[in-house]
Amino acid sequence: MPSTAAPVVIDLKFNAGEVQAALADAFPGRDVINRADPAQAGRDLSQARYAVVWKSQPDLFDRAPNLAAVFSGGAGVDHVLTLPGLPDVPLVRFVDPTLTTRMSEWVVLQCLLHLRQHVAYEAQARRGVWAELPQPEARDLTVGVMGLGVLGQDAARKLKMMGFTVAGWSRRPKTIEGIETYDESGLDAFLARTDLLVGLLPLTAETRGLFDAALFAKLSRKGPFGAPVFINAGRGGSQVEADIVAAVRSGVLHGASLDVFSTEPLDADSPLWTLPNVIVTPHAAAASDIRALFRHVETQIERHEKGLPFEHLVDRTAGY
Angle formed by the axes of helices 97-115 and 150-161, nearest 10°: 50
Residue 2 phi/psi, 5-degree rounding, is -65, 150
Smallest gap from Cβ 168 to ligand NDP, in A, equals: 8
CA distance 10 to 29: 16
Please pick, from the candidates 60, 191, 248, 260, the single residue that binds ligand NDP as defined by CB under 6 A: 260
235 is catalytic: yes
Helix, strand or coil, per DSSP, at residue 310: coil
Least distance in angstroms from the C-beta of 136 to ligand OXD = 31
Q: Which of 26, 53, 76, 159 binds ligand OXD (CB under 6 A)?
A: 76
228 is an interface residue for ligand NDP by CB under 6 A: no
CB of 320 to ligand OXD, least distance (A): 10
Does 111 engage in binding with ligand OXD (CB under 6 A)?
no
Cβ proximity to ligand OXD, 7 vs 236, nearer residue? 236
Residue 256 interacts with ligand NDP (CB under 6 A): yes or no: no
Sign of the C-alpha dihedral computed for residues 265, 152, 216 and 225 taken in this order = negative
Under the binding rule (CB under 6 A), the answer on residue 237 touching ligand OXD is no
Among 171, 208, 221, 291, binds ligand NDP (CB under 6 A): 171
Q: Which residues pair with 255 in a beta bridge?
A: 229
**Quick check: 18 binds ligand NDP (CB under 6 A)?**
no
The pairs formed by 92-97 with CB atoms below 8 angstroms and a separation of 24 or more are 92/297, 92/300, 92/310, 92/311, 92/312, 92/313, 92/314, 93/312, 93/313, 93/314, 94/288, 94/293, 94/296, 94/312, 95/150, 95/296, 95/311, 95/312, 96/289, 96/292, 96/293, 96/295, 96/296
- Between 42 and 265, name the residue whose CB sits nearer to ligand NDP: 265
Residue in the shown chain whose Cβ atom is closest to ligand OXD: 74
Site for ligand NDP in 47-106 (CB under 6 A): 74-76, 99, 103
Nearer to ligand OXD, 168 or 236 (CB): 236
For residue 150, state whether it binds ligand NDP (rule: CB under 6 A): yes
The answer to whether 283 is a known catalytic residue is yes
Contacts of 157-160 with C-beta under 8 Å, sequence gap 24+, read 158/104, 158/107, 158/108, 159/107, 159/108, 159/111, 159/198
Tally Cβ neighbours within 10 Å of residue 242: 12
**Residue 272 and residue 244 in contact, taking contact as beta carbons nearer than 8 Å:** yes
Nearest CB to ligand NDP, comparing residues 32 and 233: 233
Give the interface with ligand OXD as residue ranges (CB under 6 A). Answer: 74-76, 286-288
Active site residues: 235, 283
Give the interface with ligand NDP as residue ranges (CB under 6 A). Answer: 74-76, 99, 103, 147-152, 170-172, 184, 200-204, 206-207, 233-235, 259-260, 283, 285-286, 320
